[in-house]
Amino acid sequence: MSNSFEALGLSSVLLQTLEELGYETPTPIQSSAIPRLLNGEDIIGQAKTGTGKTAAFTLPMLERHDNSPIYGLILTPTRELAIQVAEAVHRYGAKLGVRVLPIYGGQPYSRQIRRLEKGVHVVVGTPGRILDLMRQNALDLSTVRYLVLDEADEMLRMSFIDDVEVILAATDAHKRQTAIFSATMPEPIKRLAKKYMHNPSVVAITSDEMTVENIEQRYYIVREADKVPALCRLLEVEDLQNTVIFTRTKAGSAELAETLVARGYRAEAIHGDLPQVERERILRRFRNRNITILVATDVVARGVDIPEVSHVINFDIPQLPIEYVHRIGRTGRAGRAGTAILLISPKQRRNLRMIEQFTNKRIQRGKLPTREEVLRARNLQFRQEMLAYLSQVEHLEDDGLLEELIALGYSAETVALAAMQALRLHEDQRPLEEIRDVKEREHDTVVRMPRKGGRKRSARYERDEDGSEAGMVSLKVDVGRREDVRPADVVYGIANHGDIPGRVLGAIRILNYETFVDVPQEYAEAVLNSGRSTRIKGKQIQVQLADKRSPSRGNSRQNESQHGHKKTRKKKSQKRRLLT
């Protein structure tokens, strides 16, 4: 079984994409399925959700696509899964120019038909809506060369199998490669495979031990900007022995290790780019306790023997639930107790729920240590260090300084107090930054920023209904779906011209005639000031603060509808004036 994506036979473009997304080593289902699918085989993959099966069937499809219309078709049982898989196809295929369309019930037929007419390479959808569009002659599946049934047992449970058979029959059986993925393999799925697949290979991945009973699992909700201060507070109050901190990317691990070292922690980074000799040196120092913190990517989660790890801290939430299982498996070994900590942002609660569903265990929310608790922990640690020095006082050498200070008129007690104060000042060099509290259900906030060349407004917080996350400012841009704007266009336009990192942008809501984007408070003024020079899809745009009437996530469709009605009424009024 391969432990690298390079060995699976993927192209350099996809390998670069995977690296940028933070993927380092393939999961078992990916190692087994990808080479077979690249070889043109039909496969039956038996694996649970969360094991990485989406990448297992998506990457070979992208590798073999040739820009022909509706080359790939992926069937899913639910609209939520269709959206999730379509997003994955878009991420993996971004550098290849792959156009993907999710199709599911609840959306207007006209919108989906227009997208199909424009041309797409991959369709991801639920069987019912796919069948409806086929019957309207809006969807032709004769060009499909790569077909996937995802969560086939769920489609059986939801009585979609008859629809699936009709869809399969509409494709070209002689040119179609088929993959079926399912957590279980009931008889109807086996019969379906026998009828529609060509000598399929079976890839069955046995479930890992989902969790270990003697591992205490906790999560903390913090804003992205507060993650380092939050981590440092935990490092100060937890009873740490050897600790492994996981990050998503290699660059992230190196950056975090440097930050921790600068704050006085004994830490080193380890990741896949390091030579094997260097990795072994770092692991040896970690085992010998020359360093107590190892900042790692997922390369350490599997196949590296690290004994006696007291804490595993997920600084970045893992991409897949199974990766979480592998990570926390580094602690709680050989009957010992262990602690697994997860730092998440408010937007990552959904990822947390996926992990809980996968492990079938609830993770408890923790409360970050207060400033007073950190100071108490520092005092306790200082006291323990002083007691350790005192226990060795008979073996300490006196260089005459104590006698010299006493001769100057200072008492031994005064000298001891001064020495402790100097040592305490040295120990307290680590910063203790404020961390903004994140409530379980945050209300939206908007901060009013000063406009360039105009009257400055006070930077006060307001409760609003514009859909912005706490700590973010909702801005309005005068382009939307009519210009075929995508989220990537908005991110590039705002980040490039505002000279801010694209990763800090929050929710993006694209309507027909305008777009709303959440920007962190500290960057809002820069984005507003760059408005005149900003272009999206070649159009010079206007950027302004969203007011209280701005559409939220819940009423976007209603606002679009009202906008459309106003435009229609305006056209009718103009037509009447022309006739008269």
Q: Using one digit for the tens of pLDDT, what is the confidence trace for 254-263? A: 999 999 988 8
Does 97 lie in the same domain as 63? yes
Which residue from 460, 496, 491 is spatially nearest to 477, judged by alpha carbons? 491
**Helix (H/G/I), strand (E/B), else coil: 441:** coil
Instruction: Specify the CATH number for the domain of residue 496.
Output: 3.30.70.330
* Res 459: pLDDT: 33
Number of H helices, E strands in the chain: 20, 22
pTM over 0.85? The answer is no
* Res 577: pLDDT: 45
Q: Of 2-11, 114-123, 154-163, 399-408, give the range with the top mean pLDDT.
A: 114-123
- Residue 426 inside a domain? The answer is no
In the chain, the amino acid numbered 519 is: V
Does 548 lie in the same domain as 480? yes
Residue holding tokens 């078992």?
28
Contact (Cβ atoms closer than 8 angstroms) between residue 313 and residue 199: no
Res. 339: pLDDT tops 50 = yes
**Helix (H/G/I), strand (E/B), else coil: 34:** helix
- Residue 431 inside a domain? The answer is no
* Res 330: pLDDT: 82
Instruction: Specify the CATH number for the domain of residue 323.
Output: 3.40.50.300
Does 140 lie in the same domain as 38? yes
- Between strands 543-545 and 146-150, the pairing is unpaired
Res. 453: pLDDT tops 50 = no
Does 96 lie in the same domain as 137? yes
Does 365 lie in the same domain as 380? no
559 band by pLDDT with thresholds 50, 70 and 90 = very low
**Helix (H/G/I), strand (E/B), else coil: 421:** helix
Does 454 lie in the same domain as 555? yes
Does 502 lie in the same domain as 400? no
HSE, CB side, 13 Å, CA atoms: give it for residue 295: 25
For residue 459, the enclosing domain spans 445-559
Q: How far apart are CA 441 and CA 239, in angstroms?
A: 30
Q: How far apart are CA 321 and CA 360, in angstroms?
A: 11
Domain end point (choices 175, 204, 233):
204
Domain end point (choices 349, 369, 389):
369
**Helix (H/G/I), strand (E/B), else coil: 295:** strand
Q: Of 221-235, 390-404, 423-437, 539-553, give the range with the top mean pLDDT.
A: 221-235
- Residue 567 inside a domain? The answer is no
* Res 431: pLDDT: 67
- Residue 572 inside a domain? The answer is no
Which residue from 489, 459, 462, 465 is spatially nearest to 477, judged by alpha carbons? 489
Domain end point (choices 369, 386, 401):
369
Phi, psi of 122, rounded to the nearest 5 degrees:
-130, 130
Does 96 lie in the same domain as 65? yes
Does 167 lie in the same domain as 242? no
Strands lying side by side in the sheet with 515-520: 508-510, 515-520, 472-477, 543-545
Considering just the CA atoms, what is the radius of gyration of the chain in Å? 29
Which residue from 1, 58, 43 is spatially nearest to 26, judged by alpha carbons? 1
Which residue from 305, 238, 298 is spatially nearest to 272, judged by alpha carbons? 298
Please state the domain count of the chain: 4
* Res 134: pLDDT: 94
Does 25 lie in the same domain as 167? yes
Phi, psi of 256, rounded to the nearest 5 degrees:
-65, -40
Q: How far apart are CA 90 and CA 101, in angstroms?
A: 9
Does 514 lie in the same domain as 406? no
In the chain, the amino acid numbered 448 is: R
- Residue 224 inside a domain? The answer is yes
Count Cβ atoms within 10 A of the Cβ of residue 377 and give its class: 0-12 exposed, 13-18 middle, 19 or more buried: middle
Res. 424: pLDDT tops 70 = no
